[in-house]
Chains A and B, each alone.
Chain A
Amino acid sequence: MSAELTVLALAGLLQAVQYVLMAVPANLELGPGYTAGPRDDAPPRVLSARTGRLVRALDNHFEALILFTLAVVVVTLSNQATALTAALAWLYLAARVLYIPAYAFGWRPWRSVIWLVGFGSSILIIIAALRGALGGA
């Protein structure tokens, strides 16, 4: 398996980890009576600041993961993967792992800097894939 695909698999697992990090405190705070129900009403109480941050960190990785998946798909299927795109993929994963404590502990402005590293990595992989299409077409 290429480095890009390995990272993609690990990023999928990271999403599962983020789910657990968010769901455990959220269930403790809201109670399974609410979370297992149909949630027709607003939650009985507001989530703590830390848990709210973990919810937003999870939601943010949904968006980031969709874009990163696209990047890995196009670079892999067009056979444009290089040592550079492999390094960018690992950089993406490192940034997304760091993003979680950065959000949970309110590292400001580092959370945003870390986000930008992950976002930039995905974009650069897409551009690397398109560069081949430009030259080849």
Chain B
Amino acid sequence: MLNDELSILALYGLYVAITLVLQATGAMQQLGMGYLLSSRDEGRTASGMAARLERALWNSVSAMALFAPAVLILEARGAFSDATLMAAQVFLIARVIYVPTYAFGVIGVRSLAWAAGFFATIILYLLAL
């Protein structure tokens, strides 16, 4: 499933969903199910790993918002190549590494993974031009 860009995009969507489940689990433990089901009118905030997962989730969603249109443009233009496949693979691997390194506070590796994912996305846009 790692041999075409669309499947990679689909897999990344599932990975973001898993990240969301992890974030929600952490929030449930810290803030309580009752609070999560409520209208959250008093803004409680998580801390520690739960908060890191929250930030990792938000970052993953914004990466998805940038990555998905690049794949869409490449598909619409019929511009998939070995280079775009490799860039998409690098993106997925980098983003998979990103979440646990954020959750466990692995400084340096997290930022490197973020940068690899970001630049892979930019390369996709450049190849789409």
Q: Please give the residue numbers on chain A whose beta carbons come within 8 Å of chain B beta carbons, in ascending order.
A: 49, 52-53, 56, 62-63, 66-67, 69-71, 73-74, 77-78, 103, 106, 108-109, 111-112, 119, 122-123, 126-127, 129-130, 133-134, 137
Task: Determine the main DSSP class of A at the interface with B.
Answer: helix
Nearest chain B CB to A21 CB, angstrom units = 15
Interface residue total, chain B, C-beta cutoff 8 A: 27
Contact of B64 among A66, A78, A127 (CB under 8 A): A66
Q: Which of B37-45, B106-114, B117-125 contacts A (4 or more CB under 8 A)?
A: B37-45
Q: Which residues of A contact B11 (CB under 8 A)?
A: 130
Q: A72 to B3: give the CA distance in the assembly, Å.
A: 20
CB <8 Å contact, B4 and A66: no
CB <8 Å contact, B64 and A108: no
Nearest chain B CB to A96 CB, angstrom units = 16
Contact of B10 among A66, A133, A137 (CB under 8 A): A133
Nearest chain A CB to B56 CB, angstrom units = 13
Task: Determine the main DSSP class of B at the interface with A.
Answer: helix
Nearest chain B CB to A4 CB, angstrom units = 14
Nearest chain A CB to B107 CB, angstrom units = 26
Q: A67 to B64: give the CA distance in the assembly, Å.
A: 8
* 9 A–B contacts, CB within 8 A, in A order: A63-B61, A66-B61, A70-B13, A103-B39, A112-B37, A119-B20, A126-B10, A126-B14, A130-B11
CB <8 Å contact, B64 and A130: no
B65 within 8 A of A: yes
CB <8 Å contact, A53 and B38: no
Contact of B1 among A69, A122, A123, A133 (CB under 8 A): A133
Binary contact readout B1-29 vs A (1 if CB under 8 angstroms, 0 otherwise): 10110110111111011001000000000
Q: Which residues of B contact A56 (CB under 8 A)?
A: 40
CB <8 Å contact, B68 and A73: yes
CB <8 Å contact, B17 and A123: yes
CB <8 Å contact, A70 and B3: no
